[in-house]
Amino acid sequence: MKISKTATYDVTFQVGYFEALEGGMDSRTFGPDCSDLSEAIHHLELAEIARPGHDWIITATVSKSIKP
């Protein structure tokens, strides 16, 4: 018997920051979600210019689908 499966990963990137506040956490995003890392880096650079003083980062969201 032979069994095979294919996993597909859909990765989207977003630029944002997180900061602690009294009683919780605040977060903001900059720009739209994108599927290209170079575009996310471009949005990161724009965020650092538009709103300096925040610790901007790129986050990734991964969706996995498995097909038999």
Q: Where are the domains of the chain?
A: 6-67
Specify the long-range contacts of residues 63-67, CB closer than 8 Å, at least 24 apart: 63/9, 63/10, 63/11, 64/7, 64/8, 64/9, 64/10, 65/7, 65/8, 65/10, 66/5, 66/6, 66/7, 66/8, 67/5, 67/6, 67/8
pLDDT at 63 over 90: yes
pLDDT in tens, 5-45: 999 999 999 999 999 988 899 899 999 999 999 999 999 99
What pLDDT does 3 receive?
A: 87
Q: Is 5 in a helix, a strand, or coil?
A: coil
